[in-house]
Structure 1
Amino acid sequence: MRKKSILKYSISLLLLCAPIYIKAQTNQTEENIHYYPQRYGLRVGADLFSLSRNLYDKDFSGFEINADYRLKKKIFAAVELGTTEITKDEENLYNFTTKGHYIKLGFDYNLHENWMNREDMIYVGFRYGFSTFSQTLNSYNIYTTNPYFEEGTVTLNKAYDGLTAHWAEMILGIKTRVFNNVFMGFNFQLKALLAQKQPEDFENLYIPGYNKKYSGGIGVGFNYNVTYLIPLYKSKNDAFSIPTDKKSKEEIEFDSLEK
């Protein structure tokens, strides 16, 4: 009878101490794990390609600003706003000037798995683009094989206003953090024209934000950008974690502060 009482008391004591032991083990485990919370915020910047083109191309004037906002760990809402004025010779037949503004809205999806507190991106994206613009047919060349008529250039300066275009584009790009909150990257764009308003007697050969229109309503683009992140908050729900002992944990925290 006495042995049963001792056994019963021992089992009760073990059951009482078990939660304390488990909690202590859990706390010890958490102390040996270092977390790198993900930063969420607004990233704003500009297209360096169009800005630099203003310096070396006398027939081009324009700029583009861009921004993205992190919605989830791998998903970013994105927007681009720009203005363009460009004069072009199309196959030595037409000389025309296109001037207008555009906006592109969409999202980016990061395919890259970052290590610790890195925030680099290898991403694919989608944009819907809209542009409002005007075109001026400056001149056109007359070509003839008839000896009674001379070849020459006719100066016209005929303006077409109130033109619009809608398109969709797929994006493949890279973005990397070069300083604490400064990112640089580039992307390639493949565009498909959805709808457009154009003059009856002159085709839209160039569309701001869409660029040159090739046969079949296909366009391409390139963007080289620099952006600055405005951090708003950190999320530990999707944080990167790494097991570490006390010494290496302090070293990692120091390295993180240095970066």
Structure 2
Amino acid sequence: MLKFFISIAIIILFSVKNYSQTENDSVIIKNKYGIRIGLDFSKQIRMLTEDYKGLSLYGDVKIKERLFIVSELGSDEKDLRTENLRSKFSGNYIKVGFNYNLYNNLPGLNNEIYVGFRFATSKFKSEILEYRIYNKDQFWLQDPIFDNIINKGLNANWVELVIGINTELANNLFMGLSLRLNRILNQKKPENFTNLYIPGFNKATENNNFGTGLTYSLIYQIPIVKK
């Protein structure tokens, strides 16, 4: 996945660079500063392939030539099924942090290859919809117990290291890809159960605080200042 991600980044940026070399050098270049808003449509792709619903909005503002302050808001609802358990997790999350652009643009271009950091927090609930009591001495599976045990007021905090690209497809319109490495700092678990999924973090396990994420975004810049 990482090799694929890097290959796409190189192809896109190389194509944009070649195109820019055909432009008239006499054009006066102005750097644009403004607020950008976007949608992470990887959520919509997951809705087609998983028992999942979600929405994630992206926003950033450029405060220096290479530095962006970033905020992300979203919600997730995920059904999980195993041989002995069916559960659902749903809630909202917010992420705040920054991106730092490592890419040296040609004049007039606004592409990015960046590294970033996020602090994230999520509030959610879990529901146990059905379960089987495991008995190692019994050959046949027991009939499931249908119940609706709801655990509200759950929460989790984590940090994310981010690498990604943003490529300007047209005037003020960007496509973004990012890869994330996440680590849980703390979480509130339900009694006699654990958090198998955390909105915004994705799948969680009891003995591993790390996770990963991948986003595909379409971003629009509202130009405010040109320098």
**TM-score, normalisation: structure 1:** 0.73
Query: Which SS does the other structure have where 2:91 is aligned?
Result: strand
Query: Deviation digits for residues 134-180 of structure 1, max 9, x if unmatched?
Result: 00011123332324986332222100001111110000101100011
Query: Is the CA contact 1:108–1:124 (under 8 Å) kept in the aligned structure 2?
Result: yes
Instruction: Say whether 1:229 aligns with 2:221.
Output: yes
Gaps (5+ residues) in structure 1?
Answer: 1-31, 236-259
- Structure 1 runs of 4+ off > 4 angstroms? 32-35, 147-150
Specify which of 24, 42, 46 is matched with residue 49 of structure 1: 42
Give, as a single letter, the amino acid of the residue that structure 2 aligns with 1:87: D
Instruction: Say whether 1:64 aligns with 2:56.
Output: yes
Query: Which SS does the other structure have where 2:44 is aligned?
Result: helix
**Corresponding residue number in structure 2 for 1:154:** 145
**Corresponding residue number in structure 2 for 1:170:** 161
Instruction: Say whether 1:130 aligns with 2:99.
Output: no
Judge which range, 180-189 or 142-151, deviates more: 142-151
RMSD of equivalent CA atoms: 1.9
**TM-score, normalisation: structure 2:** 0.83
Query: Quick one: distance in 2 between partners of 1:78 and 1:109?
Result: 10
Instruction: Say whether 1:85 aligns with 2:77.
Output: yes
Query: Deviation digits for residues 8-53 of structure 1, max 9, x if unmatched?
Result: xxxxxxxxxxxxxxxxxxxxxxxx9875232100110100110232
Identity %: 36
**Corresponding residue number in structure 1 for 2:9:** none
Compute the displacement of 1:207 (Å). Answer: 0.4
Give, as a single letter, the amino acid of the residue that structure 1 aligns with 2:37: V
Q: Relative to 1, partners in 2 of residues 1:33 and 1:208: Cα closer, same or farther, differing over 3 Å?
A: same
Query: Which SS does the other structure have where 2:110 is aligned?
Result: coil
Compute the displacement of 1:96 (Å). Answer: 0.6
The structure with more helix, counted as a fraction of residues: 1
Query: Quick one: distance in 1 between partners of 2:201 and 2:137?
Result: 38
Q: Relative to 1, partners in 2 of residues 1:147 and 1:191: Cα closer, same or farther, differing over 3 Å?
A: closer
**Corresponding residue number in structure 1 for 2:203:** 212
Query: Quick one: distance in 2 between partners of 1:56 and 1:206?
Result: 17
Query: Which SS does the other structure have where 1:37 is aligned?
Result: coil
Q: Relative to 1, partners in 2 of residues 1:178 and 1:205: Cα closer, same or farther, differing over 3 Å?
A: same
**Corresponding residue number in structure 2 for 1:200:** 191
